[in-house]
Structure 1
Amino acid sequence: MGAESEERAGVTLTNLDQPLSPDAGATKRDLVDYLDAVADRMLPTLADRPLTVLRVLRGQKPFMQKNVPKYTPDWVKTVPMWAEASKREVHYALCDDRRTLLWFANQRAVEYHPTLGLADNIYRPTHMVLDLDPPSDDDFAAVVAVAHLVRQALMDSGLSGAVKTSGAKGIHVFVPIDDAAPVDDVAAATRALAARAEALDPSVATTAFIVADRGGKVFVDSTRAGGATVAAAYSPRLRRGTPVSFPLDWSDLDRANPGDFTVHTAIEALGGHDPWADSMPEPQRLPADLIEQGRTIPVARVAAMHEGKRRARARRQKA
């Protein structure tokens, strides 16, 4: 093999010195080396979860891949699922081992987005997730402030969770739950948790799904439920500098800078630890009052769709 090729775990890795993208500040080798070094921490977040990846091929725009290519090796585990939107069966990969992760890295899969549910029932999430999204890329301090509101809302509800940077501009809060509640109750509880966080300080937090209604506040997104996917802990992101989704202790949030955690720096920052596993609580029972409150809150996407139609009608009537 040439200098740009090598083999690991039975996977032939090629074109390793090619840049991932013009502003990634990283090569394919950097991606492979990072994923290989973090595999023992990252694989538990991917195992037995249908996987969507973001790939970036030379000369092409990045694209999300759900269905595995026809040339996928037979040792890559897959699970068939019906895709209602496209009316076809999709074969998702299950990235359960180092060999599969390295194969994806060689395919220039930069981002890893597993489902919140396991393969036997992707619509039954194992975690509640709140995605905190700031109004601009340079407003991480505001996201941190809202993350603390979410933590307070969790404690007020008798729950606890783990926190990580999204690897983009926001923060993800994960709350592990037991399997007692059906999916609709999980979604309802997530809506209620978002509403409780917003109520603690509505001057900085909002649950408004329509961007124009957020007023420059941090969006507390409760829509990651059902068969949704979320960037995995430790996943690289295809952004300037190739940052990664990095787990943090709640006490470290105020002094954290998400840009400090990249494919070049994250391994050293981890220092041999697995903060995502270490900080994740045991699965918890959802409080009945949280579920009941959530049932009174409209589903954000549906409410936004109806509101959009109402506003469109109003504009037409004025015209």
Structure 2
Amino acid sequence: MGFPDDTPPGLAGVLATLRGDVEPSSLWATLVDLAIRGVASVHCCKGALLSGGKEYLLRWNESSSLAPWEQEAIALLEGKRKGTEREVSLLSLFQTLAFGSKGYRKALEGSLEGAGLWSRERESQRKRVLLISLLLLFLGLAAFVVGLIGADAWLGLPGARAAVAALLAGAGVGAMVLFLPYLLVGALSSSLTDQGYRRGLQWRAAAKALKEELKGEGFNVERWGGDRFPAYSIALNLTDAFQEAVKKGKITAAPPWFSTALADKAEVVQFGALIALMTASSTGSAAGVGGGGCSAAGGGSGGAG
């Protein structure tokens, strides 16, 4: 089957969410795609013991032929580097990307909008629905709490105060029940255009087909992006599929842009671990990538410097 088209990995990841969300995995996929094209590289070397004994350094070159969202990705790296060397520790990127990148997100959304795949109007409507729902849920919860406190304080007292407390509590529960589905609708609604949503469904179907193909013996990496397969694996959250391809010997060598100074495991296995870490960082679960102990001159850099 293969992927539906040659949409860059970062954009494909946004389409595949079906909501038009720019997730950290899209930015990681963009950085890997830049490495595949010779703009960046990753070097693995010995790091601090607390970091699992490894450190990954990302290095990059200057390039004048980058898309707007790729320029923002490089700008993010430039903002994180220390000294004159164009390199950053992946640990610092994990911490930064946990909060996202506004410049990258806006550039990616602008590119998708220009292609007719993403709607700023739908995004604004989606945000309004979420904001109003959250506000009303908060007011409902506040009314419920005030009602409970009032009912406890005024229990047994004559007059309308107990009735008011009961009314507040009931209104609060009613508001929460009424607007919780509204909140869910807002969270699940899409900022993609109809065309973008259809493209997203195609990418979702391709990801599912890839998982199925890896269970058999007919996997062909050229049909699944070739050299760009690692970037698409990250963008589509298919790290398990990538690891399976490494395990079954369908990916037998690390790419030229990845190098390692460690000999504890095969280079391709260390490369697979890197891809897994990048995807894990998108969900905030990355660990074991540390800093310290690796100089700019250490080891090969796969063409970036």
Same topology, TM > 0.5: no
Question: What TM-score do you get using the length of structure 2 for normalisation?
Answer: 0.24
Higher relative contact order (CA 8 A, sep 6+): 2
Higher normalized strand content (fraction of residues): 1
Structure showing the higher helix proportion among its residues: 2
